[in-house]
């Protein structure tokens, strides 16, 4: 599995305690957390579909389920915060910013509205507020 390894041992030690752990309940064996996280990282690095994930990481359904659950409960946000803080403390993050103030003008006929006396109205029902909505 070393061929597919994405996280160093130092990186793994930073996030290991944030990931799901076995509950001790009977049933299907608990997936190896590092293997699943490596699979999720591999999927995002390569841009492949979940179904095309290599079997070395386990079933693609497990990868997708773990990713969805950790996204919903905020685990990925916490992982990102911790890794960013560690990289910043090590001086590996450059916080310089570039702000672009480019203006892209569109022709008046490029809108999806039409002009009537007294103002603009939407052409599409989907853009109108529901009746009785405040």
Cα Dmax for the chain: 70
Q: Does residue 37 lie in a domain region?
A: yes
- How confident is the model over 70-118, as pLDDT tens digits? 999 999 999 999 999 999 999 998 888 888 878 777 776 666 665 555 5
Rounded to two decimals, the pTM is: 0.65
- How confident is the model over 46-67, as pLDDT tens digits? 999 999 999 999 999 999 999 9
Q: Does residue 40 lie in a domain region?
A: yes
Q: Does residue 77 lie in a domain region?
A: yes
At 6, list the tokens.
């994405």
Q: Does residue 56 lie in a domain region?
A: yes
Residues 6+ apart with CB under 8 A from 98: none
Q: Does residue 84 lie in a domain region?
A: yes
| Percent of the chain that is helix, strand, coil (3-state, to 5) | 50, 5, 45
Q: Does residue 12 lie in a domain region?
A: yes
Q: Does residue 103 lie in a domain region?
A: no
Number of domains in the chain: 1
Q: Does residue 31 lie in a domain region?
A: yes
Which structural domain, as residue segments, surrounds residue 14?
2-89
Residue 125's pLDDT is what?
A: 52
DSSP 130: P
Residue 104's pLDDT is what?
A: 77
């Amino acid at each position: 599995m070393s061929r597919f390894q994405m996280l160093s041992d130092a990186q793994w030690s930073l996030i290991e305690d944030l990931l799901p752990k076995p509950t001790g309940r009977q049933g299907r064996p608990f997936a190896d957390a590092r293997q699943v996280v490596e699979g999720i990282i591999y999927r995002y690095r390569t841009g492949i579909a979940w179904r095309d994930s290599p079997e070395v990481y386990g079933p693609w359904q497990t990868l997708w389920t773990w990713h969805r659950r950790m996204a919903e409960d905020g685990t990925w946000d916490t992982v990102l915060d911790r890794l960013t803080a560690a990289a910043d403390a090590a001086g590996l993050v450059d916080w310089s910013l570039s702000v672009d103030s480019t203006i892209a003008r569109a022709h008046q006929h490029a809108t999806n509205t039409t002009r009537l006396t007294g103002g603009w109205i939407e052409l599409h029902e989907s853009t109108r507020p529901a009746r009785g909505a405040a």
